Chains A and B, each alone.
Chain A
Amino acid sequence: MSIITMREALRQAMDEEMARDKNVLLMGEEVAQYNGAYKVSQGLYDKYGEKRVIDTPITENGFAGVGIGAAMAGLRPIVEFMTFNFALQAFDQIVNNAAKMRYMSGGQFKVPIVFRGPNGPAEYLSSQHSQATQTFFAHVPGLKVVAPGTPYDAKGLLKAAIRDDNPVIFLESELMYSWEGEVPEEEYIIDIGKADVKKEGSDVTIISYSKPLRYVMESAEILEKEGINVEVVDLRSIRPLDEDTILNSVKKTNRCVIVDESWPFVSVASHVGWLISYKAFDYLDAPVELVTSEDVPMPYNHNLELAAQPSVDKIIKAVKKVMYI
């Protein structure tokens, strides 16, 4: 297996799918001639030309809607948002058109579109440019929401997202693009809706997804040295949610910490916490703990910025709390 970056894994996924299916196209700001603001689409314009790799003006609501119309009519657009912060301008199109079109047309339309781009905390950018948007999208029936935590998962899941006939929100953690991992040369697909147990353990379950997964693995290693055996569940897909994997793990360890970069109030984390308390209540030896972003917009100052986010320290504290130590 080769070791590649998350950026390269995503690029490969798009490249392979564009080669496989001529209906797949990529559009967004700076995706073509500039090779992507974060260089995820590097080389695709050279390879596929301006018909299939399309630069748009800075008109999020417009080009998201154009993508939706094209998808309804039979193309398979990948719409890149320079960052998901700007997708909020396209929220109307995503929520009111992409998500509902199949349902309100009585099943006549498929909307095979992928909205992808960097998401979550960045560095020194303050609150408009540094936020985790997954909860906004996860709230909406009709959307699928995916957030990979490794290059391997990113490639397999993006290929699945492009082949999916539903609108998929594909969230790439902005700070993860240069993170490396093993990715096989041969083709593979990871089904949307399947969580992954990234590490088996018996004392406590930590549930996470996307970038915090790394902090969770680091915490698990530290806790291991203190004799606490951690099981790590990576959701990978937020909607649909793999309830079985979550519940089976909690039933085994009886304790659970959920780590999520989004805000705590009505969040992915709070939903998963509710799910566990509802469906595995009798198995719990302690209340479920959440480690989320602080309930504030992201500040610019770096100390405050770090303090606002989940950290190894906070995760270890939460684990000890559910272990009563």
Chain B
Amino acid sequence: MEKNIKNYDSNLLKELLYKMLLIRRFEEKAAQAYGLKKIGGFLHLYIGEEAVAVGSISNLDMTKDYVAAAYRDHGHALAAGLDPNSLMAELYGKITGCSKGKGGSMHFFDYDKHFFGGNGIVGAQIPVATGIGLKIKYNEEDGVVLCYFGDGAIHQGSFHESLNLAKIWNLPVVYICENNHYGMGTDFRRVSAIDDFSIMAESYAMKGKQVNGMDVLEVYDATKEAIEVAKSGTPYLLEAKTYRFKGHSMSDPGKYRTKEELELYKQKDPIVSFKELLIENNVITEDDYIEMDKRCKKIAKDAAKFAEESPEPDLNELYTDLYV
């Protein structure tokens, strides 16, 4: 990493590392709870991809800005500042969860914190995010929407329809394709006519950029720039090249990729590499890191305890929140 790290506020640097670590520890705890059958269904882990959500969302002011993500949403929710207790409780299906136990892993929501999902249908959040952009523009607010989706979703009509609408209406949306190389068992190169998605922006007369999604600072900088452009009236498409270290979900052994490829990317672990960068530059010490890690582990452990001890929803909840 050739970045001049002196240009960044040291609190920001520590915050970036801390948030990535929190996501990692939270998800490791969740995976453990899944193994104990405390959590059911699909659990799509974000492990390996933390730099994307953290690098981008760290630019936001969640009182004005918005986030919309897909089903691999734990990282985005934590980066956006949702309460880890309520997220873990949601995974446990408890009434104290961020969606009152009705949504589960793929459907994290927090209206007050401007976290608009969580969405289980590939591509379905992209027009929704565009609609949030419409609201910002409509009310002449100073805000932006970050919209996340995978390399698998980029072929959906919803993506293309959204980019066109966002451009013709000048909406403040940054579309972020998290290209982790695979849509389930499908290598993106097998189902994509091109292998640099950022050039798709050109079809809609907007700017696009490909960034290294394993480098939190690169994502941070690129998103900062993209947000400026989006706020000035031209939506933006970022493609973050990243990698998921785990299977698509807990039930996927990931046999479609080679061990060597996985190892190669593990060498580029966004947390380990950033930690090393911070230590080299005397932003933190090894002990600081250990301390930080302890804090994250405790938050994850406490969240699991909170979830464990929270009550189940009452059966009457079956019919609540259906209509206003």
Contact = CB atoms under 8 A, between A and B. Distances in A.
A266 B93 CA distance: 30
Nearest to A34: B185
B121 A304 contact: no
Contact of A307 (B42, B102, B153, B315): B315
A303 B190 CA distance: 41
B318 A57 contact: no
A299 interface: yes
A128 B42 contact: no
Contacts of B121: 85-86, 89, 128
B41 interface: yes
A61 B123 CA distance: 12
Interface in B80-123: 90, 93-94, 99, 101-104, 106-107, 119-123
A304 B157 contact: no
Contacts, number: 116
A128 B156 contact: no
Interface stretch (A119-127, A139-147, A235-243): A119-127
Interface string A292-303: 001011011111
B152 A304 contact: no
Contacts of A127: 102
A214 interface: no
A308 B318 contact: yes
Interface string A12-46: 00000000000000000110011001000000000
Chain B interface size, under 10 / 10 to 19 / 20 to 34 / 35 or more: 35 or more
A58 interface: yes
Contacts of B155: 57-59, 62
A56 interface: yes
B169 interface: no
A304 B315 contact: yes
A124 B313 contact: no
Interface in A146-168: none
A260 interface: no
A51 to B, nearest CB: 15
A122 B42 CA distance: 11
Nearest to A85: B121
Contacts of B256: 33-34
Contacts of A123: 40-41
A300 B185 contact: no
B185 A126 contact: no
14 contacts: A34-B185, A55-B186, A55-B191, A57-B152, A58-B123, A58-B155, A89-B123, A89-B156, A124-B39, A125-B104, A126-B103, A299-B102, A301-B93, A301-B102
Interface of B: 39-42, 90, 93-94, 99, 101-104, 106-107, 119-123, 152-153, 155-157, 183-186, 190-192, 256, 312-313, 315, 317-319, 322
Interface of A: 29-30, 33-34, 37, 55-59, 61-62, 85-86, 89, 122-129, 294, 296-297, 299-304, 307-308
Closest 3 CB pairs of A and B: A124-B40, A124-B41, A300-B104
Given A300-B90, A301-B102, 19 more contacts: A29-B184, A29-B186, A33-B186, A57-B155, A58-B123, A58-B183, A59-B155, A59-B157, A85-B120, A124-B40, A126-B106, A128-B107, A129-B41, A297-B322, A299-B318, A302-B40, A303-B315, A304-B315, A308-B318
